[in-house]
C-alpha cells in the first residue's frame, strides 16, 4: 500500500515582512496638526473647576502667576482647598463679619497668611497682590463683591477675571 | 574610438519610502503635545480694585482730571454718567426685548470715546443683583471698539505724535466695591 505524502507548504523561518505604516503616519500627521493648534502658550495653567460655568469674553490676555480663587454656587475655594460655603448664591452668616457683611473672615485669614508667609511674601504676585478669580456666570455681583472687597482689604487689589474664549 | 556605455535608467520603477523614522518622531511628539495642550481656552480680564488708602489719595488727584466716565448697571437699565468739569451728564440705555441693549451701549461708548479720547478709565458700578455674566459682557463692550475701522488717537510720548488705537476704556475699575 502506497502512502500519500502530506503536502507541506514551504515556510522560510527566517523571513521578514514589511509593515505598511503609511496610513498610520497619515493619522499621526492629522493628530499632530490638531495638537499644535491647541498648544497652550500661557505661563500659567488654569484648571477649570467642574461646577463652575465661566462667562465668555473677547479678551485675549493670557493669565499670569497669581493666587487662584474659584467661586461656585456651592463653595469658595483657594486652589483646591475649600475656604467658605456658599448657599443660595450667598455666603453663610457665620463666615461674614457681624458689623461688615461684605467681609469674608476665612478668606481674609487665608490671604493674610499668604501675605505674611516667609516663603511667599517676596514673590511678585503676592507683593503686587494679584488674584485670579474663576466665578460662575450666574452668580450675582453682590456675592462677587464680597470676595473683591475682602481681597482688597487683605492687600490683593489686582483682580483678574478668568473667562472662556468665544461666544 | 570606444563608445561610452549607456546606463539604463528605468523611469517607471517604484520605490518604497521608509516612513519608520518619521513615525518614531511623531510617536514621541504626540504625547508631549497632548500634555501641554489646552482643550479649553481660558483668558483673563484685568481689573483693578480701589484700595482704601489709594482711593482717598486718588480722589484728591482726580480733581485735576476733567472727565470721568462711569457706568451704573441696574436690573432695569444701564446709566452712563459723564462728569466733565464738575458737571454731570447722564444717558440711560433702556432694556430692549427684556435684555440689556449691549449694542446700544457700545455705540454710545464709541461716541463718548470720540468726544473724550484722553479718557481710558471707566468706573463700573453694578447693582448687587446683576449677574456676573452681564458684567463681563458690558466690560467687553467698553474695552474695545468692535468695528476695526473705528480708531481713536493716543499721544505716544516716545514718538512725540498721535498714534491710533481701537481701545476705548481698557482700564475698568469696580468703583462700588468699597461701598457698604
- Please write the tens of the pLDDT for every residue from B69-99: 899 999 889 999 998 887 888 999 988 888 8
What pLDDT digit, counting tens, does each position of A137-147 carry?
999 999 999 99
DSSP-derived letter for residue A39 is B
Verify whether the Cβ–Cβ distance B40 to A42 is below 8 Å. no
C-alpha B16, offset from chain centre: 52
Give CA–CA dist A111/A134, Å, rounded.
Answer: 16
- Report the C-alpha gap between B34 and A86 in whole angstroms: 35
Please state, in angstroms and rounded to a whole number, the distance separating the CA atoms of residues A134 and B132.
11
**HEC letters along chain B:** CCCCCCCCCCCCCCCCCCCHHHHHHHHHHHHHHHHCECCCCEEEEEEECCCHHHHHHHHHHHCCCCEEEEEEECCCEEEEEEEECCEEEEEEEECECCECCHHHHHHHHHHHHHHCCCCCEEEEEECCCCEHHHHHHHHHHHHECCCCCCCEEEEECCCCEEEEECECCCEEEECCCCCC
Question: Position of cell 502512502?
Answer: A3
3-class DSSP assignment, residue A10: coil
Chain pair A-B, CB pairs under 8 angstroms: 157
**CB contact, 8 Å: B154 with chain A?**
no
Subunit contact B180:A152, Cβ cutoff 8 A: no
pLDDT at B116: 85
Cβ neighbours of B48 in A, within 8 Å: 157-159
Query: Cell 514589511 appears where?
Result: A18
> Which ipTM score applies to this complex?
0.77
Among the partner-chain residues A57, A153, A166, the one whose CB lies closest to the CB of B45 is A57
- Taking an 8 Å cut-off on Cβ atoms, the answer to whether B46 and A160 are in contact is yes
Question: From the candidates A100, A142, A161, A164, which should be mutated to test the interface with B, based on the most B CB atoms within 10 A?
Answer: A161
Residues A57-73 have pLDDT tens digits of 888 778 888 899 999 99
The pTM of this model reads 0.75
Q: Tell me the DSSP string of A83-140.
A: EEEEETTEE-GGGB-SS-TT-BHHHHHHHHHHHH-TTTTTSHHHHHTEEEEEE-TTSB
Identify the band that residue B33 occupies on the pLDDT scale cut at 50, 70 and 90.
confident
Amino acid at each position: 500500500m502506497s502512502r500519500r505524502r502530506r503536502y507541506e507548504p514551504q515556510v522560510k523561518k527566517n523571513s521578514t515582512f514589511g509593515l505598511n505604516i503609511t496610513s498610520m503616519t497619515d493619522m499621526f500627521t492629522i493628530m499632530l496638526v490638531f495638537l499644535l493648534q491647541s498648544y497652550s502658550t500661557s505661563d500659567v495653567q488654569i484648571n477649570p473647576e467642574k461646577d463652575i460655568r465661566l462667562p465668555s469674553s473677547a479678551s485675549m490676555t493670557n493669565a499670569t502667576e497669581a493666587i487662584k480663587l474659584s467661586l461656585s454656587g456651592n463653595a469658595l475655594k483657594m486652589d483646591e482647598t475649600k475656604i467658605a460655603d456658599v448657599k443660595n448664591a450667598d455666603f453663610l452668616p457665620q463666615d461674614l463679619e457681624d458689623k461688615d457683611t461684605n467681609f469674608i473672615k476665612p478668606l481674609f485669614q487665608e490671604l493674610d497668611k499668604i501675605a505674611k508667609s516667609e516663603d511667599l511674601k517676596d514673590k511678585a504676585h503676592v507683593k503686587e497682590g494679584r488674584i485670579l478669580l474663576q466665578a460662575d456666570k450666574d452668580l450675582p455681583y453682590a456675592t462677587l463683591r464680597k470676595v473683591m472687597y475682602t481681597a482688597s482689604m487683605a492687600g490683593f487689589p489686582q483682580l483678574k477675571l478668568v473667562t472662556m474664549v468665544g461666544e | 574610438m570606444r563608445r561610452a556605455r549607456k546606463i539604463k535608467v528605468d523611469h517607471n520603477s517604484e520605490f518604497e519610502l521608509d516612513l519608520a523614522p518619521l513615525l518614531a518622531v511623531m510617536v514621541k511628539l504626540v504625547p508631549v503635545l497632548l500634555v501641554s495642550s489646552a482643550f479649553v481656552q481660558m483668558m483673563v480680564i484685568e481689573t483693578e480694585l480701589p484700595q482704601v488708602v489709594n482711593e482717598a489719595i486718588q480722589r484728591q488727584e482726580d480733581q485735576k482730571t476733567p472727565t470721568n466716565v462711569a457706568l451704573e448697571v441696574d436690573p432695569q437699565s444701564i446709566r452712563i454718567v459723564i462728569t466733565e468739569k464738575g458737571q454731570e451728564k447722564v444717558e440711560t440705555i433702556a432694556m430692549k426685548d427684556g435684555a440689556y441693549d449691549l449694542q446700544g451701549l457700545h455705540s454710545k461708548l464709541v461716541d463718548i470715546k470720540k468726544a473724550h479720547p484722553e479718557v481710558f478709565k471707566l468706573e463700573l458700578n453694578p447693582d448687587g443683583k446683576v449677574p456676573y455674566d452681564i458684567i463681563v459682557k458690558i466690560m467687553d463692550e467698553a474695552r474695545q471698539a468692535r468695528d476695526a475701522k473705528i480708531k481713536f488717537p493716543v499721544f505716544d510720548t516716545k514718538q512725540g505724535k498721535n498714534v491710533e488705537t481701537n481701545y476705548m476704556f481698557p482700564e475698568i475699575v469696580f468703583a462700588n466695591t468699597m461701598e457698604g
